[in-house]
Chains A and B, each alone.
Chain A
């Protein structure tokens, strides 16, 4: 191989490798999308002879599915709203006041963001039995809120640090209370941060399967994630088309929200946990 051929090879090689990786990543995803519009969907990826929307119609018109989607949306939305409100309140003194134990507190919060939730689910289950919260949708939301609180506080505190204090002071001079200052001045300036936290907590619980699986019993209370799992177990081996249609619909909110979140994370992606957002 002469110098020139080598050079050409080194130019093409990265594209070849990346294309191969891309195809490997694409195939499983392509299957679910194609199967969802194929009236005779099979386990393997194939070109449909005709395209149908019937799989989607079947999934959408099923009242049990509608119910699961609504429950899932309400749970995730409720959690996101609660986390944002509580985390803003908590972030305020952490950002604006000089507190004695602020540093160890923030380190504990950071520590808690990375603990695997899976490991505490057995005691949580027992706790829910004791508190009579087992099989209670609101109880699951409360647990979700608690488990994403550390992330919310950490992010919003860092976002709040970058909001200058002068504007708030101006509001106080005009007679606003601290609370009104947060609501009317600080929060509107932190919209990107609030949206980031809201989107991440929403997607987190929307995609979570383990927590409701442990804490809910009655199938009528199942959110979309559990319903899909149930569907998978019951008809998974037969009805690929409808299963795929359900999956695509269920994945949609996560994908749309991710795209939206890109707008708020203008600085790109880094391990920004420690730096100011």
Chain B
């Protein structure tokens, strides 16, 4: 680096001073971020609990938590719910809807783009508890949606009880779609117009252009965005917790909610940690894929 060549004194010091600059951040990340990750692995093999006998004596219990996990039907339900939530709200909802909005907005009236874009963005910028509240009242028994459908003579539905998973999925779509929309808008702007124009000259239909040219061209963006959106959705807690509390029953209990219930409602911290480890491992695998896609 040229800057080091002109400043010999600086160069001599640099081998040691880098540590001085990096140390504070590394220390704080080690204590409050990396250490908890390691603890997750450790605690998941213990009987850590907040109350009762186990609270007094921390014991190493091997894979008991995992054996229990695979026998616990609620774990299976929560994994299934997480999958439904991920696919419904992240993969299909935010991703497809975000792409659709970005695609339809291309070359449209500027004023119109601004208005629709701002509305969608507002849902993204709004904090999750406010989102939960807005959507809760929208789907409520006397909420806006029922008011609309009864106006058209359709009988009212108790949305939050009949289709609770659908309501939280829509809430998350409402909250998150703007991110995908922005990403795809930027990506679609980068598709060279010459290619599309050439395809039109060759007689390609709109659908052919979309599936043979546009989508393949932004393939990498789609993969990266998919990873990011999935990672964000994996950790969603507040939105579901405030809207349905994981219920009714276990119908919207995703893994974060189940982890919370085990650890802080049933005071089974060790067992709760075993579930969060599963969550963490999924996150780690997805993050590794994400980094690989960024490196290319």
B257 closest partner in A (C-beta): A118
Q: Known contacts A31-B144, A43-B140; decide if A99 and B18 are in contact (CB<8 Å).
A: yes
Determine which of B187, B238, B287 lies in contact with A209 in the assembled complex, contact meaning CB atoms within 8 Å. Answer: B238
Tell whether, in the assembled complex, residue B126 and residue A29 are in contact, meaning their CB atoms are under 8 Å apart: yes
- Kindly list chain A residues whose C-beta atoms are within 8 Å of the C-beta of B166: none
- B270: min CB distance to chain A, Å: 9
Tell me the smallest distance from the CB of B140 to a CB of chain A, in Å. 5
Contacts of A121 in B (CB 8 A): 259, 276
Q: How many residues of A contact B (CB 8 A)?
A: 92
A147 at the interface (CB under 8 A from B): yes
- Does A169 make an interface contact (CB < 8 A)? yes
Which residue of B has the minimal Cβ distance to A267?
B186
Q: Decide if B217 is an interface residue (CB 8 Å cutoff).
A: no
Give A229-267 interface residues, CB cut-off 8 Å to B.
229, 232, 236, 240, 243-244, 247, 250-251, 254-255, 258
Residue B71 lies at the interface, judged by CB distance under 8 Å to chain A: no
A125 lies within 8 A of B263 (CB): yes
B66 at the binding interface (Cβ < 8 Å): no
- The complex places the Cα of A124 from the Cα of B130 at a distance, in Å, of 26
Interface check A92, CB cutoff 8 A: yes
Smallest CB gap from B26: residue in A: A90
Question: Which residues of A lie under 8 Å from residue B256 when comparing CB positions?
Answer: 118-119
- Check A225 for interface membership: any CB of B closer than 8 A: yes
Provide the bound-state CA to CA distance between A126 and B49, in Å. 10
B85 close to A (CB within 8 Å): no
B94 interface residue, CB < 8 Å from A?
no
Known interface pairs A96-B1, A250-B130; A120-B17 also in contact (CB < 8 Å): no
Q: Does B90 contact A (CB under 8 A)?
A: no
Confirm or deny: A53 has a beta carbon within 8 angstroms of a beta carbon on chain B.
no
Contact B187 A28 (CB under 8 A): no
B1-17 CB mask vs A (1 if < 8 Å, else 0) is 11110110010011001
Interchain CB contact under 8 A, B10 and A28: no
* Nearest A-chain residue to B120, judged by Cβ: A25
Q: Is the interface of A mostly helix, strand, loop or mixed?
A: helix
Which of A10, A19, A89, A118 has a CB less than 8 Å from the CB of B235?
A118
Are B104 and A18 in touch, CB under 8 angstroms? yes
Asked if B137 contacts A207 (CB within 8 A), the reply is: no
Residues of chain A within 8 A (CB-CB) of B37 are: 115, 120, 123
Say yes or no: A225 contacts B129, CB within 8 Å.
yes
Contact of A269 among B185, B283, B288 (CB under 8 A): B185
A48 contacts B by Cβ under 8 Å = no
A232 and B133 CA atoms in complex are apart in Å by: 8
The reply to whether A114 and B290 form a contact with Cβ atoms under 8 Å apart is: yes
The answer to whether the Cβ of A110 comes within 8 Å of any Cβ in the partner chain is yes
| A153–B25 CB distance below 8 A | yes
Interface segment, B72-80, B191-199, B208-216, B220-228? Answer: B220-228
B123–A119 touching, CB < 8 Å: no
Contact B40 A123 (CB under 8 A): yes
Beta-carbon contacts under 8 Å, B95-144 to A: 97, 100-101, 104-105, 108, 112, 115-116, 119-123, 125-130, 132-135, 137-138, 140-144
Is there an interface contact between B130 and A118, defined as CB atoms closer than 8 Å? no
Is the CB–CB distance between A21 and B25 below 8 Å? Answer: no
Assuming the A-B contacts A28-B174, A90-B22, A255-B122, are A116 and B147 also in contact, with contact meaning beta carbons closer than 8 angstroms in the complex? no
B182 to A: closest C-beta gap in Å: 4
Query: Is A209 in contact with B2, judged by CB distance below 8 angstroms?
Result: no
On whether A243 and B133 interact (CB within 8 A), knowing A114-B228, A122-B40, A145-B28, the answer reads yes
Given A21-B97, A270-B186: A122 in contact with B119 (beta carbons within 8 A):
no
Partner of A44, one of B18, B144, B279, B286: B144
Q: Tell me if A149 and B29 are in contact (CB < 8 A).
A: yes
Query: Does B127 contact A122, Cβ atoms closer than 8 Å?
Result: no
Considering only CB atoms, which chain A residue lies closest to B22 in the complex?
Answer: A90
Chain B residue contacts of A86, Cβ below 8 A: 24-25, 28
Residue of A nearest to B186 (CB): A270
What 19 additional pairs, Cβ within 8 angstroms, besides A45-B144, A270-B183?
A14-B104, A18-B101, A25-B119, A26-B119, A32-B134, A43-B143, A44-B143, A46-B147, A99-B18, A114-B231, A119-B259, A123-B40, A125-B269, A149-B25, A209-B128, A209-B129, A254-B127, A258-B125, A271-B224
The 10 closest A-B pairs by CB, nearest first: A116-B235, A146-B32, A207-B127, A93-B18, A118-B235, A165-B3, A123-B39, A28-B134, A119-B280, A209-B238
Instruction: List 27 interface pairs A-B (beta carbons < 8 Å), by A numbering.
Output: A14-B108, A18-B112, A22-B119, A29-B119, A29-B123, A44-B143, A46-B147, A86-B28, A89-B21, A90-B22, A97-B18, A107-B295, A114-B287, A115-B283, A118-B235, A120-B40, A120-B280, A125-B269, A165-B2, A172-B7, A207-B128, A213-B238, A240-B137, A251-B130, A254-B126, A269-B183, A270-B186
